[in-house]
């Protein structure tokens, strides 16, 4: 009986793993060393983008900031180094006016790129 239960549990876990692995990538996108903040600055701009032809509706909306940190750590690396989730999380805040103490804002010198409307 215990064997049957264990086998069932194992099959369930294997199925869960299989589903998650669809999205696993052997290779990450490599961000050029020294430009991680410039990249994160682009991520900060994403939820601010407004569609010019659509009454200023946002292009996208995230109900939580954590999703950006998770995405960055999963699919990007800084030079040859993997990214640490806590470090990346500290670069995001849900409220830039009242950030928590761990928040590390992007310095102006790292704001290298900006996303603009093609109409401009």
Residues that bind a second copy (CB under 8 A): 2-3, 6-7, 9-10, 13-14, 16-17, 20, 22-25, 27-32, 35, 38-39, 42, 46-47, 49, 51-54, 57-64, 66-68, 70-71, 73-76, 85, 111-118
Which residue, 29 or 104, has its beta carbon nearer to a second copy? 29
| 115 token code pair | 């996303």
Which residue, 39 or 103, has its beta carbon nearer to a second copy? 39
Question: How many C-beta atoms surround the C-beta of residue 102 within 10 A?
Answer: 11
Grouping H, G, I as helix, E, B as strand and the rest as coil, residue 50 is: strand
Four-point Cα dihedral 66, 75, 106, 92, nearest 10? 0
């Amino acid at each position: 009986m215990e064997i049957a239960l264990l086998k069932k549990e194992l099959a369930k876990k294997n199925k869960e793993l299989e589903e998650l692995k669809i999205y696993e990538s052997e290779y990450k996108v490599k961000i050029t060393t020294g430009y991680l903040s410039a990249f994160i600055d682009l991520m900060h701009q994403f939820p601010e983008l407004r569609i010019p032809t659509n009454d200023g509706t946002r292009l996208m909306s995230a109900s939580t900031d954590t999703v950006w940190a998770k995405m960055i750590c999963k699919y990007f690396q800084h030079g040859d180094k993997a990214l640490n989730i806590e470090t990346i999380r500290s670069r995001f805040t849900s409220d830039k006016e009242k950030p928590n103490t761990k928040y590390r804002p992007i310095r102006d010198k790292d704001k290298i790129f900006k996303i603009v409307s093609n109409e401009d």
